[in-house]
Chains A and B, each alone.
Chain A
Amino acid sequence: MGSTGHHNHESSPVDLIGANLSFLGLAALLLGGIGYGLRNADATAATFAILLLAPLFGFLFNGLRFRSKNARLSGSVATLAAFASFLCSISLAMKVGAAHGAVSTKFFDWMTIGDLNVAAGFTVDKISALMILVVTGVGTLIHLFSIGYMSHDDRPSKYFAYLNLFLFNMLLLILGDNLLVMFVGWEGVGLCSYLLIGFWFSDSEKAAAGMKAFITNRIGDAGFLLGIFTLFFIFGTVNFAEINQRALDIGAESGWGGPMTLACLFLFIGATGKSAQIPLYVWLPDAMAGPTPVSALIHAATMVTAGVYMIVRLNPLFLAAPNALHVVAVVGAVTAVTAASIGLTQWDIKKVLAYSTVSQLGYMFLACGVGAFGAAMFHLMTHAFFKALMFLGSGSVIHAMNGEQDIRKMGGLKKALPITHGTFLLGWLAIIGMPPFAGFFSKDEILWLSFHSPLGHWGLWLLGVFGAALTAFYMTRLMALTFWGGSRVPNGVHPHESPPSMTVPLIVLGALSVVGGWIGVPHAIGHALHVPHFLEHWFQGAILGIPGLKPASTALEIALMGVSVSIAGLSSVAAFVFYVRRTELPGKVAAKFRGFYDLVHNKYFVDEFYFGKIIDPLVEASRNLWAYVDVSFIDRGTYAVADMVRGVGSVAKTVQNGNMQQYALYVVLGVAATIFLILR
Chain B
Amino acid sequence: MLLSAITFFPLLFALLVACIPGSRARVIRAVSLASSLIVFGLSLVLLAKFDRATAALQFVERLPWVPELGVSYFLGVDGISLWLVILTTFLTPVISLGSWGSIAAKVKGFHVSLLVLETAMLGSFLAMDAILFYVFFELSLVPMYFMIGIWGGARRIYATVKFFIYTMLGSLMMLLAIIYLMYAHHDTVGVFSASVLDFYKLKIPFVAGSFINPQTLLFFAFALAFAIKVPMFPLHTWLPDAHVEAPTPGSVVLAGVMLKMGTYGFMRFVLPLFPEAASYWAWLFIFLGLIGIVYGALVAMVQPDIKKLVAYSSVSHMGYIIVGLFAMNVYGATGGLYQMLNHGVSTGALFLLVGMIYERTHSREIVKYGGLAKALPVLAILFLIVTMSSIAVPLTNGFVGEFLILMGTFQVSKAYGVVAVTGVILGAAYMLWMVKRVFFGPAGELVENTGHPLRDLSPREIVVMAPLVVLIFWMGLFPNHFLDYSKVSIEHLIETRDNYQLTVNPSEATDVARTTPRSEAGK
Give the B-binding residues of A (Cβ under 8 A). Answer: 12, 14-15, 18, 66-67, 108-114, 116, 180, 183-184, 187-188, 191, 194, 198, 201-204, 207-208, 210-211, 214-215, 218-219, 221-222, 225-226, 228-230, 232-233, 618-619, 621-623, 625-626, 629-630, 634-635, 638
Q: How far is the CB of B465 from chain A (nearest CB, A)?
A: 12
CB contacts (< 8 Å) of B400 on chain A: these are 111
CB contacts (< 8 Å) of A232 on chain B: these are 407
Q: How far is the CB of B237 from chain A (nearest CB, A)?
A: 5
Q: How far is the CB of A412 from chain B (nearest CB, A)?
A: 36
- Say whether A203 contacts B417, CB under 8 Å: no
17 contacts between A and B (CB under 8 A): A14-B462, A108-B478, A110-B477, A111-B479, A113-B331, A113-B334, A113-B483, A183-B394, A184-B395, A191-B393, A198-B436, A201-B439, A202-B440, A203-B441, A215-B432, A622-B301, A626-B303
- Say whether B421 contacts A225, CB under 8 Å: yes
Chain B, range 379-413, C-beta contacts under 8 Å to A:
381, 388, 393-395, 399-400, 403-404, 406-407, 410-411
A108: nearest residue on chain B (CB-CB)?
A: B478
One of B299, B388, B394, B439 near A625 (C-beta < 8 A)? B299
- Say whether A623 contacts B302, CB under 8 Å: yes
* Contact of B30 with A by CB under 8 A: no
* Contact of B192 with A by CB under 8 A: no
Chain B, range 469-523, C-beta contacts under 8 Å to A:
477-480, 483, 487, 491
Q: How far is the CB of A415 from chain B (nearest CB, A)?
A: 39
CB contacts (< 8 Å) of A15 on chain B: these are 378
A206: nearest residue on chain B (CB-CB)?
A: B440
Q: Which 4 residue pairs are nearest across A and B when measured between Cβ atoms? A: A207-B440, A204-B441, A622-B298, A201-B440
Tell me what chain A mostly uses at the interface: helix, strand, loop, or mixed: helix
- Say whether A188 contacts B479, CB under 8 Å: no
Q: Report how far A180 CA is from B407 CA in the complex, Å.
A: 12
CB contacts (< 8 Å) of B41 on chain A: these are none
Q: Report how far A108 CA is from B479 CA in the complex, Å.
A: 11
One of B381, B407, B410 near A116 (C-beta < 8 A)? B407
CB contacts (< 8 Å) of B301 on chain A: these are 619, 622
Say yes or no: A229-B424 contact (C-beta < 8 A), given A188-B395, A202-B441, A208-B436: no
Q: How far is the CB of B12 from chain A (nearest CB, A)?
A: 35
One of A208, A226, A629 near B421 (C-beta < 8 A)? A226
Chain B, range 203-242, C-beta contacts under 8 Å to A:
234, 237, 240
- Say whether A619 contacts B302, CB under 8 Å: yes
Q: Report how far A444 CA is from B336 CA in the complex, Å.
A: 51
CB contacts (< 8 Å) of A180 on chain B: these are 403
Interface contacts (Cβ under 8 Å), in number, total 135
CB contacts (< 8 Å) of A194 on chain B: these are 432
CB contacts (< 8 Å) of A635 on chain B: these are 237
Q: How far is the CB of B445 from chain A (nearest CB, A)?
A: 15
Q: How far is the CB of B482 from chain A (nearest CB, A)?
A: 11
- Say whether B302 contacts A626, CB under 8 Å: yes
B477: nearest residue on chain A (CB-CB)?
A: A110
A18: nearest residue on chain B (CB-CB)?
A: B462
Chain B, range 233-285, C-beta contacts under 8 Å to A:
234, 237, 240
Say yes or no: A66-B407 contact (C-beta < 8 A), given A14-B459, A111-B400: no
- Say whether B487 contacts A113, CB under 8 Å: yes
Per-residue A-contact encoding for B354-376, CB less than 8 Å = 1, 0 else: 00000000000000001101100
- Say whether B425 contacts A202, CB under 8 Å: no
* Contact of B141 with A by CB under 8 A: no
Q: Report how far A12 CA is from B455 CA in the complex, Å.
A: 11
Say yes or no: A207-B417 contact (C-beta < 8 A), given A622-B301, A626-B302: no
- Say whether A188 contacts B298, CB under 8 Å: no
B241: nearest residue on chain A (CB-CB)?
A: A635
* Contact of B330 with A by CB under 8 A: yes
- Say whether B377 contacts A67, CB under 8 Å: yes
Chain B, range 423-481, C-beta contacts under 8 Å to A:
424-425, 428-429, 432-433, 436, 439-443, 459, 462, 477-480
CB contacts (< 8 Å) of B240 on chain A: these are 630
- Say whether B331 contacts A114, CB under 8 Å: yes
Q: Which of A18, A113, A215, A222 has the most CB of B within 10 A?
A: A113
- Say whether B428 contacts A618, CB under 8 Å: no
Q: How far is the CB of A610 from chain B (nearest CB, A)?
A: 13
- Say whether B407 contacts A184, CB under 8 Å: no
CB contacts (< 8 Å) of B166 on chain A: these are 638
- Say whether A111 contacts B407, CB under 8 Å: no
Q: Report how far A212 CA is from B433 CA in the complex, Å.
A: 9
One of B330, B331, B377, B436 near A207 (C-beta < 8 A)? B436
Say yes or no: A215-B330 contact (C-beta < 8 A), given A66-B377, A184-B395: no
One of A12, A114, A116, A187 near B393 (C-beta < 8 A)? A187
- Say whether B417 contacts A229, CB under 8 Å: yes
Q: How far is the CB of A211 from chain B (nearest CB, A)?
A: 5
Q: How far is the CB of B404 from chain A (nearest CB, A)?
A: 6
- Say whether B394 contacts A184, CB under 8 Å: yes
Q: Report how far A589 CA is from B408 CA in the complex, Å.
A: 58
Q: Report how far A71 CA is from B425 CA in the complex, Å.
A: 36
Q: Which of A232, A623, A630 has the most CB of B within 10 A?
A: A630
Q: Report how far A188 CA is from B279 CA in the complex, Å.
A: 38
Q: Report how far A225 CA is from B404 CA in the complex, Å.
A: 11
- Given pairs A14-B462, A114-B330, A188-B395, 19 additional interface contacts (CB within 8 A): A18-B462, A110-B480, A114-B329, A191-B388, A191-B393, A198-B440, A201-B439, A203-B442, A211-B436, A218-B429, A225-B424, A622-B301, A622-B302, A623-B302, A625-B295, A629-B234, A629-B295, A630-B237, A635-B237
- Say whether B377 contacts A215, CB under 8 Å: no
CB contacts (< 8 Å) of B393 on chain A: these are 187-188, 191
CB contacts (< 8 Å) of A202 on chain B: these are 371, 374, 440-443
Q: How far is the CB of B391 from chain A (nearest CB, A)?
A: 8
- Say whether A222 contacts B424, CB under 8 Å: yes
- Say whether B404 contacts A113, CB under 8 Å: yes
Q: How far is the CB of A637 from chain B (nearest CB, A)?
A: 9
CB contacts (< 8 Å) of A221 on chain B: these are 424
Chain B, range 155-174, C-beta contacts under 8 Å to A:
162, 166
Q: Report how far A576 CA is from B463 CA in the complex, Å.
A: 64
- Say whether A622 contacts B299, CB under 8 Å: yes
- Say whether B425 contacts A630, CB under 8 Å: no
Q: How far is the CB of B408 from chain A (nearest CB, A)?
A: 9
Q: Report how far A226 CA is from B331 CA in the complex, Å.
A: 15
Q: How far is the CB of B192 from chain A (nearest CB, A)?
A: 33
One of B302, B378, B411 near A233 (C-beta < 8 A)? B411
CB contacts (< 8 Å) of B432 on chain A: these are 194, 211, 214-215
* Contact of B418 with A by CB under 8 A: yes
B486: nearest residue on chain A (CB-CB)?
A: A113
Q: Report how far A622 CA is from B428 CA in the complex, Å.
A: 16
CB contacts (< 8 Å) of A207 on chain B: these are 436, 440-441
Q: Report how far A14 CA is from B440 CA in the complex, Å.
A: 26
B418: nearest residue on chain A (CB-CB)?
A: A226
- Say whether A630 contacts B395, CB under 8 Å: no
Q: How far is the CB of A283 from chain B (nearest CB, A)?
A: 13
One of B303, B404, B440, B478 near A204 (C-beta < 8 A)? B440
- Say whether B407 contacts A229, CB under 8 Å: yes
B240: nearest residue on chain A (CB-CB)?
A: A630
CB contacts (< 8 Å) of A110 on chain B: these are 477-480
- Say whether A634 contacts B234, CB under 8 Å: yes
CB contacts (< 8 Å) of B441 on chain A: these are 201-204, 207
Q: Report how far A180 CA is from B299 CA in the complex, Å.
A: 31
CB contacts (< 8 Å) of B442 on chain A: these are 202-204
- Say whether A215 contacts B428, CB under 8 Å: yes
Q: How far is the CB of B70 from chain A (nearest CB, A)?
A: 34
- Say whether B334 contacts A215, CB under 8 Å: no
Q: How far is the CB of B2 from chain A (nearest CB, A)?
A: 29
A627: nearest residue on chain B (CB-CB)?
A: B302
Q: How far is the CB of A286 from chain B (nearest CB, A)?
A: 13
Q: Report how far A239 CA is from B459 CA in the complex, Å.
A: 44
Q: Report how far A184 CA is from B400 CA in the complex, Å.
A: 11
- Say whether B237 contacts A188, CB under 8 Å: no
CB contacts (< 8 Å) of B443 on chain A: these are 202
Q: How far is the CB of B382 from chain A (nearest CB, A)?
A: 13
